[in-house]
Structure 1
Amino acid sequence: MNLILISCMMAILISIVLMTACSLISKKSILDREKMSPFECGFDPKSSSRMPFSVQFFLIAVLFLIFDIEIVIILPMIVTFNISSLSTWMLTIMMFMMILIMGLFHEWNNGVLEWAK
């Protein structure tokens, strides 16, 4: 127990020392208007370079990642079909698919999948 505690304290201490050293060594840049503005041949930009990001694109990306991970979870179930009993395997698949379908309907009811508003 003492060995684990000492190892954790050493890891935390090394992390703190490295973060402090990096912040002291790193180059500090002074933020001014010219450095923060986009380069347009020396002219002032016509519009803001900080365009607002659409939340709809972010939600679609998150949904894609969720369903992509779910496919990765489903693929090993095909391999375990021969190893496990049919009733256990079917119950697992049905529960997993039911959770997926309930999540899809929940997202649909909340309007996440609608583009035009």
Structure 2
Amino acid sequence: MNGKVGVVVSASASTGRFGVRVAGEAKALALRHAVQWPANLEPATEAVEVGRLILKAAEWSPQSHELFPEAARRWAVEVMRLGYLIAWDEERFEQGEGAAPGLVDLWRDFVLPRVVVR
């Protein structure tokens, strides 16, 4: 490979997994360079961190909220307020106490990621 190390960074938004793979002839060379010059792996480490950030920001969640634009964050707050109003509507549910917190958790985990987009 002309003395170059081939590094493949992969990420899957559907599974939430990422990886860094060194393939073929480059593997032995990469290992040798890693032992002699650990700084050579810094770009791969940075690529992994970028991959983590991309996966984290791919879909809305409470953990990725700060990575979304301001308008999307405001929308998330409004949609969550609606979820609280529905969950605590005592007339809608027989218990008289509302359906929270179960409905609130479902709303946050399943509804918000589908309606809050960039």
- Asked if these proteins are the same fold (TM beyond 0.5), I'd say no
Question: 1 or 2, which has the higher helix percentage?
Answer: 1
With the length of structure 2 as denominator, give the TM-score of the two structures: 0.27
With the length of structure 1 as denominator, give the TM-score of the two structures: 0.27
Question: 1 or 2, which has the higher strand percentage?
Answer: 2
Which structure has the greater CA radius of gyration?
1
